[in-house]
A and B are shown apart, each in its own frame.
Chain A
């Protein structure tokens, strides 16, 4: 089963005719994802390597039954693209674009508040259900099908975690990069909720970082609702305050957003937090064992 995407997902790429959109659209298709359409206003009627391109998302939905959108448009056009996807009846939009203005995201999130479309990102690597479907820029070959859900604010650090899990014999149900911006479509809690209800997910690995209080909120939610073992790693223990560490959202400001507070909150909720990024899989194994579950896939 897994969450959000599987082999039945039908993907439209908004921005398929751009460099990144084309490259990653084709890489997703190579992985096995059904990339059924592209959208670039003004380029309707053309094709990219056999994939039809439309002027609007609505046409891609009508003609190709697309239900998932992967967005690769410039930052100035991202809000428009997300709102168009929602208007066209897309079920899941995944916005890879980095550098979307905060004001645009405040408005987009308000518009999506009472709306059936789920947004992942922006500024995220996307998501993957190993062996079935990839929507985003994650490297497919490090993943293995299995029962660990992964949710992360990071990109390459997630790949690091996934590689460790795979090497330790722990495959993944779905891995979701929720993005490194201060305002994002789906939170840790949104994804944890889905993993909690997914029978194929037996445990969750969460990767957080400095900035904001999303990890603390997740910790509170986990204590109250989570029925599955959770392990975590928080990056930025040594990050200096007041400095933006690469991601727009990764900043300790006014005593808020510190890594040690996040680690403490997660531990208080029973989450196994890895002391070091070299021991992420070990923390997951320890959480599974503590819950009486096998620490590797049979």
Chain B
């Protein structure tokens, strides 16, 4: 789960990390008032779940409160398209209005998971404000990675080594050690999966500040991070993805016209690959889960039919613990409930497949086409939708 920049900074501030003074503005008036508190000179930052905001015009400087209002008018309640968003962009519902901080140096600091090591990893660089992966490729000696032994933790001596690598000495070095310790504590206590300060700046008046911050929380830990779970901003996700998540259905919109309903994440990915190989364009990834009951299958079906681009459906079920005849019953209920006349190609294998097939073939008034085998099913739905091909 991603946090907005203002939420991330709020979190960091709770751990004693210095962030620029700022106010969240949800209207042009609020943006103007916030700017006035800084004497007019401020930076306005669009709050969206994507990087690349600066180049996309989502971060702008104002010298007066009127300028701040103009910027707010341009950004608020519009969609911002950056290199990291899809082409329709993300809605800007709020702006973070911050004081201007004169900057002496820009650095980089983050904590994340090193999957192959199975450990959390601190990444530091004296090159801040730029893409860290680019720095790592072009000047690997400018990036320091430190894998953390969870039994030992991130100690002061580790932090002093990082401060030295970043060229922070004296008071600034001490501030860096405190900041790194706070960052690690925050990371663990909040079950973060990413905590990135880019840039971490040394201000002209000699302070160490988190100028920008990116935080993601481990979705699996939200049951014990209830406060943070409440910070989720559904407006930053596709509405169908939000709806699916409520029923614990994994759904991702893909843009094509063939709706897919599959049990299991791996099989669902494989089904999309198969469909693409056969010349089809999947509308979605949908994993209905391993223990889907009838209500869940019906809801999954409704969700994929909500996508107006869907003109046909491919169902691929491998019955194991979940029996094919039960899925067939659910599919019939779903197709009936939605009174869908779209072609539905069904492929089932595994437990009670023949019983499932029997049930589906008895439904003459539904447009259900049975196919054996993955390749045959993918080919069949593609041909259904382009009969001339």
Contacts and interface: CB of A to CB of B under 8 A. Distances in A.
A and B co-occur in one complex:
yes
Interface of A: 20, 24, 27, 75-76, 99-103, 105-107, 109-111, 137-139, 141-142, 152-160, 163, 180, 182-183, 207, 209-214, 217, 233, 235-240, 242-250, 254-255, 275-278
B365 interface: no
A110 B151 contact: yes
A137 B220 contact: no
Given A102-B220, A214-B116, A240-B254, A255 B133 contact: yes
Contact of A276 (B120, B274, B287, B319): B274
Contacts of B276: 237-238
Interface residues of B, number: 53
B147 to A, nearest CB: 11
Best-surrounded residue of B116, B264, B272 (most CB of chain A within 10 A): B264
B168 interface: no
Nearest to B285: A245
Contacts of A155: 264-267, 290, 320
B341 to A, nearest CB: 28
Interface string B235-264: 000000000000000101010000000111
A102 B273 contact: no
A255 B116 CA distance: 15
B116 A209 contact: no
A163 to B, nearest CB: 6
B285 A239 contact: yes
Contacts of B265: 154-155, 180, 209, 245-247, 250
Contacts, number: 175
A156 B264 contact: yes
**Interface majority SS (helix, strand, loop, mixed), chain B:** mixed
Interface in B304-340: 318-321
Interface of B: 84, 113, 115-116, 118-120, 133, 149-151, 188, 191, 193, 218-221, 223-224, 250, 252, 254, 262-274, 276-277, 282, 285, 287, 290-291, 318-321, 349-351, 373-375
Nearest to A107: B150
A160 B188 contact: no
Contacts of A247: 265-266
Given A20-B291, A101-B218, A242-B84, 16 more contacts: A111-B151, A156-B266, A157-B318, A158-B266, A160-B267, A160-B318, A163-B318, A163-B349, A211-B115, A236-B269, A237-B273, A238-B273, A239-B272, A239-B285, A245-B268, A255-B133
13 contacts: A102-B191, A103-B188, A107-B151, A109-B118, A138-B320, A156-B262, A183-B115, A214-B115, A214-B116, A235-B269, A244-B250, A246-B269, A249-B115
